[in-house]
Amino acid sequence: MPESTQAPAGTNPFFEAWTTPEGVPPFDRIAPGHFREAYARALAEHEAEVAAVAAATAPPSFENTIAALELSGRALERVGNAFWLLAGAHTNDALLEIERELSPQIARHWNKIHTNAALFRRIDTVMREADALGLDAEQKRVTERYHTSFRRAGAALDGEAKKRLAAIIERLAELGTAFSQNVLADEQAFTLRLNSEAELAGLPHFMREAMRAEARDRGLGGYAVTLSRSSVEPFLQFSDRRDLREKLFRGFIMRGDNGGPTDNKALIAEMVRLRAERARLLGYADFAHYRLDDAMAKTPQAARQLLDAVWTPARSRALADRDAMQALIQEEGGNFRIEPWDWRYYAEKLRHRQCAFDEAAIKPYLNLDRMIEAAFYTAQRLFGLSFTPANVPVWHPDVRAWEARDASGNKVGLFFGDYFARPSKRSGAWMTSLRDQEKLSGDIRPLIVNVCNFTKAPGGEPTLLSFEDARTLFHEFGHALHGLLSSVTYPTISGTNVATDFVELPSQLYEHWLERPEVLRRFARHYQTGEPMPEELLQRLIAARNFNKGFATVEYIACAVVDLDFHSLPKPEDIDATAFEVKALSRIGMPDEITMRHRPPHFAHIFSGGGYAAAYYSYMWSEVLDADAFAAFEETGDIFDPATAKRLRDCIYAAGGAQEPADAYKAFRGRLPNADALLRKRGFETTAAN
């Protein structure tokens, strides 16, 4: 993609009707310079549409107020979906500059809408008169979501409070953009270069080849390790070089915490202060109470109760594993205390000893293409979906696209997979959309995207995944199915537009099928011979799935606790993010040998925008649901049980946000779960408290 921010000569693609298959953005014709004028026109158009709704003289009705708002902003949605996909998955200096410029403008635009008093009066009238207006259940739900979002955005505040809230939200948008760009800059600036055989000691062949390709792609000789998690974690797992493990680990955990222009600690302090002030303006004690008031948990106390219930057995398991690894170090003649950069290395050795399991032995059986097939097969067995390659425009040559059809052959939507790490992509894995499903303006089929950061094999060789990589693939595809299977009328409640602590249920639930022998026997095949994974190895893989689960749980819960602690401050002053992190971890008894999965200076979930701010606990909240939900299949004796799958589709995957999350789950399961299923899933049910 060209790097210029100036509009190229010729017609702007955003000002045309797209004749591409399924209306996919014509990425081959879109340049960074198109976005400024496209956004300017789309924002003005949306502002005029909303102003017309607010100024209408006819009595407020669902059609002339809520439905009219749902139909507004289509040009803005089209521009924004393309821009934010590129900004995350294939960015460049021109897009980064435009992102910095646009973020506060877009925040200002939505502030103006959400604080429009005349518009809120119309929404409030429809809300109060819903029964008299004859609204059906879905229309009532959409109206309630509009009323809640406007109220939480400050629509009912007085003039001065509205003005201050608008300034806060605009500033938070600027800070979130700066935060994410700083992390990306630190990731792009770091490369661990290796040249000698001694530096490669312990690394399997597949890793060496991937590292050689990474170096070549960066114009370097030898081998290179980047700060992509899919590159860092295998190196920490296999490298015999303790000094190099430490160097890479420190580079990884210090993203956003290196001083200078990309340091994020001051940004964190300002964001936490502004979020607390925002909550106070809206009548909440702190930001955590504000955020969770519109979540399934409802209160920070409820979220903390779950985290506390799991923390004790998880910490106990992690400490037991630590002691076993320390004994292994001494047995090998090591005269040092285990450190965080040692954990994955000695955990792999301990797993090999305790479970007769070797990660390097299973990776040849986890070919990326076969794992994609496994995810598709599971969707076919559960929901009758089929996927065939589609020839549509994409934003990078590595991106693949498939057309999804239902059991009757009807088109469902398009699915895009962008699987490989590259310097132009932000770290992590996520699902997004280029268009959401809806029926309000016709039978609109969704365009759903999965973005991952797997290390690409060189020279056209098959890309091999770790089991955690394969789990990530299934997780994100679960999100994708939530978007693809959506079957609602109104965009506001389409697909993944649900509470944050419910949105992870479809994704985490989908991971369960990856671990099942019925799926692994069919798709875990050697990338060279095509032979299935030996049954003995498969059984060892399944038996070892909870190995090191104490570590994984501790590093996760630490993040969730620190997130809640930051956002439970009623009036934060000058926060030292590092000191705050240390104090919070000390309070819960964080083992010295384990770090947070995401330290605050690169904790994008909560500081690159507000997606999971005060809500990182959501993954565990949803895991309570997913463990219980999969048990519904196990209780039938068939993990693809048709009746259970139909309820799952109808009540969860297809329903979007049409119901309160608790009601949706009870419609599927008949009741709400407790944490017992989660403890069993993680293997903690018999762990004594420490």
Digit-coded pLDDT (tens) for 294-312? 999 999 999 999 999 999 9
Whether 581 is a known active-site residue: answer: no
pLDDT in tens, 329-370: 999 999 999 999 999 999 999 998 988 888 889 999 999 999
Q: Encode pLDDT of 105-132 as tens digits.
A: 999 999 999 999 999 999 999 999 999 9
pLDDT at site 293: 96
pTM metric for this prediction: 0.92
Residues contacting residue 131 through CB under 8 Å, at least 6 positions apart: none
Among 214, 403, 476, 511, the one annotated catalytic: 476
Strands 411-420 and 430-435: unpaired
Both tokens of residue 174?
Answer: 């600027």
pLDDT mean over 201-219:
91
The whole-number pLDDT of residue 199 equals 97
pLDDT beyond 90 at 166: yes
Q: What is the pLDDT of residue 5?
A: 62
**What is the residue whose two structure tokens read 């029964």?**
131
Of 343, 316, 321, 311, the closest CA to residue 620 belongs to 311
Give percent above pLDDT 70 in the chain. Answer: 98
Tokens of 363: 């990776």
Distances (CA, A) of 255 to 417, 553, 558: 27, 22, 18
How many CA atoms lie within 13 Å of 456's alpha carbon, on the beta-carbon side? 18
Averaged over 178-183, what is the pLDDT?
96
| Confidence label for 9 from pLDDT (cuts 50, 70 and 90) | low
Q: Structure tokens of 157? A: 């505040």
Q: Please report the domains of the chain, with CATH numbers, ordered by start residue.
A: 13-156 (1.20.1050.40), 190-254 (no CATH)
The 3-state DSSP composition of the chain as helix, strand, coil percent (nearest 5) reads 60, 5, 35
Handedness of CA 49, 20, 22, 37 (dihedral sign): negative
Contact 239, 345 (CB under 8 A): yes
Q: Is the pLDDT score of 690 beyond 70?
A: no
pLDDT band at 230 (very low <50, low <70, confident <90, very high): confident
Judge whether residue 686 has pLDDT over 50: no
pLDDT at 676: 85
Matching residue, tokens 């490989």: 420
User: Among 50-64, 442-456, 666-680, which stretch is predicted with the lowest mean pLDDT?
Assistant: 666-680
